[in-house]
């Protein structure tokens, strides 16, 4: 997957987690949302790491 698609996929995951949390604000959904947001934010910082294959 190229860079743009990874970023887009992380954004989709974040949006889905947010919708699930809004619909059912439970602790599990909150943790999922928080993890999705962190992955999205950390992607830019770790871009070289991702580009190197993990």
Q: What is the DSSP string of the chain?
A: --HHHHHHHHHHHHHHHHHHHHHS--HHHHHHHHHHHHHHHHHHHTHHHHHTT-
Look at residue 25 in the predicted model and tell me its pLDDT: 93
Look at residue 6 in the predicted model and tell me its pLDDT: 87
Give the tens place of pLDDT for each residue, 4-47.
Answer: 888 899 999 999 999 999 999 999 999 999 999 999 888 877 76
Can you say whether residue 25 is alpha, beta or left, with left for phi > 0 and alpha for psi between -120 and 50 degrees? beta
37, 14 Cβ separation under 8 angstroms: yes
């Amino acid at each position: 997957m190229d860079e743009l698609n990874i970023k887009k996929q992380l954004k989709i995951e974040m949006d889905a987690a947010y919708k699930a949390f809004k619909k059912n604000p439970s602790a599990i959904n909150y943790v999922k949302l928080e993890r999705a947001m962190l992955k999205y934010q950390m992607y830019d910082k770790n871009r070289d790491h991702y580009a190197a294959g993990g």
